[in-house]
Structure 1
Amino acid sequence: MKLQKPELINILVEELLKLEKLSADFDSESQYMVTEIARIISHIFHNTETSKSLLSQLKLTHLPIYCSAELYNYKSLVNYLGLLKLEHNVQLGWNYYPKLNQEELRFVSQENWWLNKKVIIDSLEASYTRSKIIKSVANADGTLDRMDTSGWKINGKLDVKINPIPATVNQIAFELLASFKNINLSKESKLHYKI
């Protein structure tokens, strides 16, 4: 059933509100929470052969999206985790955290943000875009759930590594929420609607 513009806008607003709540309560140890965040982002952005994303249906793909990814230095001897910071906590040890910094945001096109920009290049030189990460986590295919190619050894042990995926998913949500914070969706939507 084809939905009208006001209904689609209501769905997008509800998804953004759910995303905001999940992000505010974010717990990197909760696989359910990480998966749910990824499902919402996928619903907003991901197009398939059989279904269009909310942004495509509303003709909002012209809107730029905030990007917080650091520039990739190909000469770096360590892997690239462009959306994260590595910090040490006395109780928890070393871990990855989303940056959650408004000052680091700059606009890019949706295509660059979703499909092109690599945000992880791991220690095996495999690269991941936001789209690849979000689709994998949202579909719960297990590909990235236990990602152990972060490139950091903890306490010199080879078999203990830090999974950057939960914090990356949260940072992607942060970028998305910041991008749509003050947008008049009805005005920006190029979807024609007759009253």
Structure 2
Amino acid sequence: MIRIVLVDDHPVVRAGLRALIDGQDDLTVVAEADVLDAAVAAVRAERPDVVLMDLSLGEGVAGGVEVTAALRALPEPPEVLVLTTYDAEADILRVLDAGARGYLLKDTPPADLFAGIRATARGETVLAPSVAATLVRRSLPGSTAITEREVEVLELLSRGLGNKEMARELFVSEATVKSHLSHVYTKLGVDTRAGAVAAALERRIIRR
């Protein structure tokens, strides 16, 4: 039996997932959580094989990336499978870097979700097609993919921060920020801050 903890801030979503998953002979939901502390407590108490993780857990609380990192840092960490509505490049890179084993979208058919949970429990990588395409595109020879640091710059740009504020947020000099912006403009084929944000949103590098 594959033991699963659900981490999502919407009770209705958790109830629906539980009903679907518990209908499988080899899968069972052993706990639910909606914030970091509850997720860590559930994993420590239940020792699940897989944590099914949403990325957005509400305003003002740790998101799925932070929760994933915390769970993977435990002495006996579970495998983490992301299940979210977001497929922005920034989200994908961060949560995989935090230790998630896979990344699926909430429009995944139930049969594919079940197969993904089973594969994750076996230690296999599970990726939605659009997520896999994003990672492949970044790895192609000659790729001009945006780096993780440049993604951070774009996210700060989208918040309306100036160079001095971005330098403070990133703990770098203003000259370094200007260098990152220059590279971002070149890669996105734009020449303004607004154009960079618009292109990044259109290409799903960042999300609103």
> TM-score, normalised to structure 1's length?
0.29
Looking at secondary structure, tell me which structure has more helix per residue.
2
TM-score relative to the length of structure 2: 0.27
More contact order relative to length (CA 8 Å, sep ≥ 6): 1
